[in-house]
């Protein structure tokens, strides 16, 4: 099936107007064709990834939007949150989901050993991030967690899942990838992916190592040992963090994940050290104290960044039917 009447492609070179993604009603005919093409890549990717997780024994959970407990996103050097949304319902304060990390830890420990969720996350990024091309204030992650898994297990699962997706896409979505000018440039990465320690990257690139590695690499690469929120495992003796981010060329961090903390004393200590309000994490603390929180590991794949990279977009909001560009609110 031919996607376009002419041999015209939908690259940025032929469409210089694409800067900050516009809402559907403001797109030209050719921009709508490009949007629909990216939409097909998104649909294919969602079907492929969810099937792979289901076929590997993961249970598919539905997301929640409001909870007392959500990701503190602190202290995370990469976070730039302008506003946290809290609202009172039934006499209680709830927050919009920043990530379902706390839900994952508890669900994986108690009832669903291997789980994943297509989880909408709201993070009101500072408006100055509008033009980075990789930030949006609502995004969806394929968030997964596995009881008893190690970092190595998760890293090889992710490599398998991504390489298998790319192989299938290159076989089944040739027309779409050609239209997006990605048919020849989207290479299958070699496995295992390279692994860098954040410490070494900091020595090479300084504080902005995330940008440094995203610009330098031409393949997806892992970065480990990143100081972050209390739920990622930290070895108090060595000071090393047992976590891993996957970085894509240009689009940056597409996955963050870790082996998790499960011991009460450590979690409490880290929450207090980070100045995070422990009242919002009472349940996870209680379960940890009772020994019901289990060692798990997992991660979350940012769907818009992944599909943005596959499609070669300038701004990942191009992958969204209703763009969520920081600083801009449209009617839809």
Using CB under 6 A, list all residues that contact ligand ASN: 71, 99, 101, 141, 143, 256-258, 298-300
**C-beta of 141: minimal distance to ligand ASN in Å?**
6
**C-beta of 298: minimal distance to ligand ASN in Å?**
5
Spatial CA neighbour of 321 closest among 45, 29, 98, 22: 22
**Quick one: 176 or 229, whose CB is closer to ligand ASN?**
229
Longest dimension (CA), the chain: 65
Q: CB within 8 A of 243, min separation 6: which ones?
A: 151, 224, 225, 226, 228, 232, 233, 256, 257, 258, 259
**C-beta of 206: minimal distance to ligand ASN in Å?**
24
**Quick one: 257 or 326, whose CB is closer to ligand ASN?**
257
Q: CB within 8 A of 5, min separation 6: which ones?
A: none
Residue nearest to ligand ASN (CB): 300
**Quick one: 76 or 175, whose CB is closer to ligand ASN?**
76
Residue 87 near residue 56 (C-beta atoms within 8 A):
no
**C-beta of 286: minimal distance to ligand ASN in Å?**
21
**C-beta of 35: minimal distance to ligand ASN in Å?**
26
Spatial CA neighbour of 168 closest among 46, 254, 57: 46
Q: What is the torsion angle, in degrees rounded to the nearest 10, for the CA atoms of residue 222, residue 35, residue 12 and residue 318?
A: -50
**Quick one: 147 or 182, whose CB is closer to ligand ASN?**
147
The neighbour count for residue 106, using CB atoms within 10 Å, is 21
Please tell me the distance from the alpha carbon of residue 321 to that of residue 303, in angstroms, as a whole number.
13
| Vertex 140: Cα angle to 135 and 141 (nearest 5) | 100
Residue 312 near residue 304 (C-beta atoms within 8 A):
no
**C-beta of 278: minimal distance to ligand ASN in Å?**
19
Please tell me the distance from the alpha carbon of residue 309 to that of residue 291, in angstroms, as a whole number.
41
**Quick one: 12 or 84, whose CB is closer to ligand ASN?**
84
**C-beta of 180: minimal distance to ligand ASN in Å?**
27
Three-state DSSP class for residue 67 = strand
Please tell me the distance from the alpha carbon of residue 252 to that of residue 221, in angstroms, as a whole number.
10
**Quick one: 299 or 323, whose CB is closer to ligand ASN?**
299
**C-beta of 321: minimal distance to ligand ASN in Å?**
22
**Quick one: 71 or 176, whose CB is closer to ligand ASN?**
71
**Quick one: 31 or 234, whose CB is closer to ligand ASN?**
234
Structure tokens at 58: 């993961």
């Amino acid at each position: 099936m031919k996607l376009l009447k002419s041999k015209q492609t939908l690259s940025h070179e032929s469409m210089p107007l694409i800067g900050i993604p516009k809402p559907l009603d403001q797109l030209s005919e050719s921009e709508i064709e490009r949007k629909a093409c990216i939409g097909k890549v998104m649909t294919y990717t969602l079907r492929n990834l969810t099937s792979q997780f289901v076929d590997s024994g993961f249970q598919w959970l539905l997301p929640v939007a409001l909870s007392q407990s959500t990701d503190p996103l602190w202290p995370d050097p990469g976070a730039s949150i302008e506003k946290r949304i809290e609202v009172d319902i039934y006499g209680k304060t709830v927050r919009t989901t920043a990530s379902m990390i706390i839900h994952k830890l508890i669900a994986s420990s108690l009832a669903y050993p291997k789980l994943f969720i297509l989880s909408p996350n709201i993070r009101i990024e500072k408006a100055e991030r509008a033009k980075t091309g990789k930030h949006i204030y609502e995004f969806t992650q394929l968030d997964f967690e596995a009881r008893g898994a190690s970092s190595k297990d998760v890293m090889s699962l992710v490599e398998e899942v991504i390489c298998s997706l790319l192989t299938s896409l290159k076989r089944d979505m040739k027309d779409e990838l050609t239209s997006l000018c990605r048919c020849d440039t989207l290479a299958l990465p070699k496995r295992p992916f390279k692994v860098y320690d954040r410490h070494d990257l900091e020595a090479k690139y300084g504080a902005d190592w995330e940008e440094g590695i995203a610009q330098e690499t031409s393949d997806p690469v892992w970065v480990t040992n990143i100081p972050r929120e209390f739920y990622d495992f930290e070895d108090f003796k060595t000071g090393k963090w047992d976590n891993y981010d996957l970085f894509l060329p240009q689009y940056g961090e597409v996955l963050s994940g870790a082996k998790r903390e499960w011991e009460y004393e450590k979690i409490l200590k880290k929450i207090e050290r980070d100045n995070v309000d422990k009242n919002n994490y009472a349940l996870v603390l209680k379960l940890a104290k009772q020994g019901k929180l289990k060692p798990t590991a997992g991660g979350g794949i940012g769907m818009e960044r992944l599909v943005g990279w596959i499609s070669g977009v300038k701004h990942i909001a191009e992958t969204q039917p209703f763009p969520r560009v920081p600083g801009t609110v449209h009617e839809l």
